[in-house]
Amino acid sequence: MRYLVTAGPTREFIDDVRFLSNASSGRMGCALARAAKDAGGRVTLVYGAIAGAPPECDRLVPVTSAEEMRNAVIEHAARADAIIMAAAVADYRPAERTPGKIKKSADELVLRLARTPDILAELGRQKGGRILVGFALEAENARENALQKLREKDLDLIVVNSPAAMGADRASVELLFASGESEELADFPKSEIAARIIRAVETLKVNPQGSTDGPSRTADPGS
């Protein structure tokens, strides 16, 4: 299978030395790229400012901003059988980038923010026969919000996690499938979570409506 995986945070620059970002380390995305490669896949990894070196892949595409990530993902999406969007893409960017360095001149500095591209929604609209996997980092109403995202963006699988997963080596996640199945993985190494996701993707590619071949409990897509 041909995989397109994204990893790490984006950086949205305020001026030439300051930026908005988040605490993502990219460990989950890199673990997914590794697991896909170990499973015999051909892997393109589009990655932001990850912690450490990227894993060995067939193609490595470094990016900085959400716009750059969007352009790279769209460029390579057509050649993928499965797309796994594990990157922590910034939802907002500064509406204007100031050249040089903003000088300290007042007690307050007000930034006007603009929305960044919704890459996952765009992929869902042009999905075709590809398997599309998204992530939902939720602080509250996690399952409800993730199921809404699953439906609205035409995903085959969404991985629900919490802010505690940011930068950590282990995580607790729930896999929610478009079929209505689900699976909880509590306090697992990210490498094991990644391997399970890749097995699920391979099963979905063969039988999109079938079992995910793992422990499950029924999700309520209409909740």
Active-site annotation holder among 22, 141, 145, 207: 22
**Distance from C-alpha of 44 to C-alpha of 37, rounded to nearest angstrom:** 10
Helix axis angle, 27-38 relative to 190-206, nearest 10°?
50
SS3 156: coil
SS3 46: strand
Across the chain, which distance is largest between two alpha carbons, in Å? 61
Indicate the residue type of 124. Answer: G
Q: Is 22 a catalytic residue?
A: yes
Q: Are strands 157-161 and 2-7 parallel, antiparallel or unpaired?
A: unpaired
Residues marked as catalytic:
22
